[in-house]
Amino acid sequence: MLTIRPETSQDIALVHHLNQQAFGRRQEADLVDNLRERGVLTTSLVAVQDGEVIGHIAFSPVVVESEPSNWEATVLGPLAVLPEFQRKGVGSKLVYAGLDECRRLGHMIVVLAGHPEYYPRFGFVPAKARGIDCEIEVPDEAWMIKELKEDALAGRQGKVIFQKEFREAE
């Protein structure tokens, strides 16, 4: 049975390991560690099956530079599932649980740079078409956005500015 729950301090090394395994490199694992250390992970959930942490999803704040004033959104990422558990619905359950938690916390808009065939099933749409640009180079089809509250983007445009850890992970 799969359980989704908030990350605990006992999960930190496991989350690092699974991010490294899922992506085949350290960048995403180090990113999560750095965001956690700075206290800017607004949501960090793990998927546990038979007592083993097999998946993780992280959300952190971003600033959207806009006229007349800046506003805040949330970025999803990274999402990681151990390779042997991929394509079994674990990632989807993490995304749904993460979006629910963001909604519960009062976040209204989530952005991400991700696979254009994967994230639309959760309601993500191209962000540039909605007037939201990205400070880092991301292909238009991979730069996506989702409103957690209806019309949260009404009248809003701007450029997303990431935490420095995201820029350094590029």
Task: Note the pLDDT of residue 28.
Answer: 94
CB 127 within 8 A of CB 145: yes
Nearest of 141, 157, 129 to residue 73 by alpha carbon: 157
Q: Contact, 63 vs 126, CB < 8 A? A: no
Whether pTM exceeds 0.85: yes
* pLDDT of amino acid 43: 97
In tens digits, the chain (170 residues) has pLDDT values of 999 999 999 999 999 999 999 999 999 999 999 999 989 999 999 999 999 999 999 999 999 999 888 999 999 999 999 999 999 999 999 999 999 999 999 999 999 999 999 999 999 999 999 999 999 889 999 999 999 999 999 989 999 998 766 655 55
**What is the pLDDT at residue 167?**
54
Angular region, 65: left φ>0, alpha ψ -120 to 50, beta rest: beta
Contacts of 157 (CB under 8 A, 6+ apart): 66, 131, 132
What's the confidence (pLDDT) of residue 34? 92
Ordered by where they begin, the domains of the chain are 2-169 (3.40.630.30)
Tell me the residue ranges of DSSP E strands in the chain: 2-6, 43-49, 52-65, 71-81, 109-113, 125-126, 132-134, 143-147, 158-161
